[in-house]
Amino acid sequence: MTQSIVRSSVVSGLNAFIRDLGFDPARTVPAYLQEIAAGTVPTFSLSDYMELLNICAETTLTPNFGLRFGARYRRRDLGLIAYLFTYNHRLADSMTGFQTYFSTLQTHSHYAHYTAGDMAVV
């Protein structure tokens, strides 16, 4: 099975978020995940990213760590994909663009959406 790869832009601001929770990123994130947390490697595995979020949740005693980090995440840090959401006038156009360029953000994963009446399914 091929492993999903994620671009480092998904961790933009992670260390600042950890500091805002009152923790030291150097002590919160294990040494083998430090480069990922700092965003200094261009890509990394989706499983490493999930492990990083789980470790941060446990260490900071924040069960909803990923949700809180995601709420604070700045879309513009995604680069080109951020423009798809920011500059399209219709959500459907944004979602279509996202689907088209999804592989530039994360590889070996699948994303699709469709609409049926007033309901959208992702």
Q: Where are the domains of the chain?
A: 5-71, 74-121
Would you list the DSSP string of 54-88?
Answer: HHHHHHTT-TTHHHHHHHH--GGGGTHHHHHHHS-
Residue that wins the pLDDT comparison between 21 and 84 = 21
Instruction: Locate 119 and state its tokens.
Output: 């309901």
Higher local confidence (pLDDT), 6 or 1? 6
Q: What is the mean pLDDT of the chain?
A: 80
- Other Cβ atoms within 10 Å of 73 Cβ, number: 17
What was the pLDDT predicted at 18? 92
Strand partners, 47: none
Top pLDDT among 38 and 121 is at 38
Q: What distance in Å separates the CA atoms of residue 110 and residue 102, rounded to the nearest whole number?
A: 8
